[in-house]
Chains A and B, each alone.
Chain A
């Protein structure tokens, strides 16, 4: 089970609505709703993804939620579901923090922040995003345990795929192959039954 013992507190539509309410009116009750669901999960994310301790992970979760408040006006429900948008904020914070920690010597110490590549939004897109996210969540719960574990490691562990393979005692090719299988399945859910095999 993907959401074992941790059922989402609100429907994803409400989360989008919360972010929009913050953008529109600085709605603090909406912020509190988002905070209740996402802050504890962001803390869990930062702990896994940055290998930082309890206090530092909670600080990053606070930073991420503050960024949600500040950037709410940039949220576009036609482009991403609420949790996808929050994930992107957290990921960028994490990249930033890891970069500070490594302090890479570079001609261009590029912060690989995410460029806004505009895709033409259509009126039904926001609805599609929400529906897509709902199917995704269900599909995650139905994924074989091992594929879900790999997926979580690929997204949240501070490790390369090679390091994950070494830790699990699997050949790298097997790890990548199973990741592909999981992705194909989830893509199938997002795209509908006909387009799942169109793969890169």
Chain B
């Protein structure tokens, strides 16, 4: 398999280890981790740092009988039989689930689908772009994470292939373009709307709420 060259930034990995990423961004990072041993190692270290920080936090006084209360809950759980783990609200988004999503036409050569629309303005979307098609030059309101699922695209910073993550922040303006023989299929986590330079895509962005 292609060796992954582009990774989420260290601060993003720390935010993930700390549970601080939005569900949209966390999904992108989680799927990258499945493919990237380097970042899994970095993640393990980030969690170890979290553990060390937790063990060193100043203790806060507990209510009276805190331990006795915990013991009673253990007894109650034992009496009720082994309590299973909490049931997740929905099956996690796997690459298979994503590949099965129905995409809608967005622009010539571009189809998309919103997978997750968070209350904080963060959006997770799939984008399928025909080779040679470029997105209009744009900027961002927050951090944008793009994971290549299939195919490839190029950007000012280089070439991105399956498993690679492009992380850009508010200071970056770019115009990514799909390249290679097949469609580029990407998963994008954005915060807030994209900011297009030219008027036409700006109007277009308003219409489709990109």
- A residues adjacent to B (C-beta < 8 A): 2-6, 8, 12, 28, 31-32, 35-45, 47, 49, 55, 57-58, 61-62, 65-66, 69-71, 79-88, 90-92, 94-96, 99, 102-113, 115, 117, 119, 129, 132-133, 136-137, 140, 151-152, 154-156, 158-162, 172-173, 175-176, 179-180, 183, 186-187, 190-191, 199-200
Contact = CB atoms under 8 A, between A and B. Distances in A.
Interface stretch (B26-34, B148-156, B197-205): B26-34
A104 B118 contact: yes
Interface residues of B, number: 73
5 contacts: A40-B61, A61-B62, A62-B69, A109-B89, A115-B30
A80 B18 CA distance: 16
A104 B23 contact: yes
B11 A154 contact: yes
B51 A102 contact: no
Contacts, number: 243
Interface of B: 7-11, 13-15, 17-21, 23, 26-27, 30, 33-34, 38-40, 42, 44-63, 66-67, 69-71, 73-74, 77, 82-83, 85-86, 88-93, 97, 114-120, 142, 169-171
Q: Interface majority SS on A: helix, strand, loop or mixed?
A: helix
A65 B77 CA distance: 13
A105 B117 CA distance: 6
A88 B47 contact: yes
* Among all A-B residue pairs, the 9 with the closest Cβ atoms: A84-B51, A40-B59, A83-B51, A91-B19, A83-B55, A112-B26, A200-B7, A87-B51, A136-B52
A81 B48 contact: yes
Contacts of B44: 79-80, 119
A66 B73 contact: yes
A87 B117 CA distance: 28
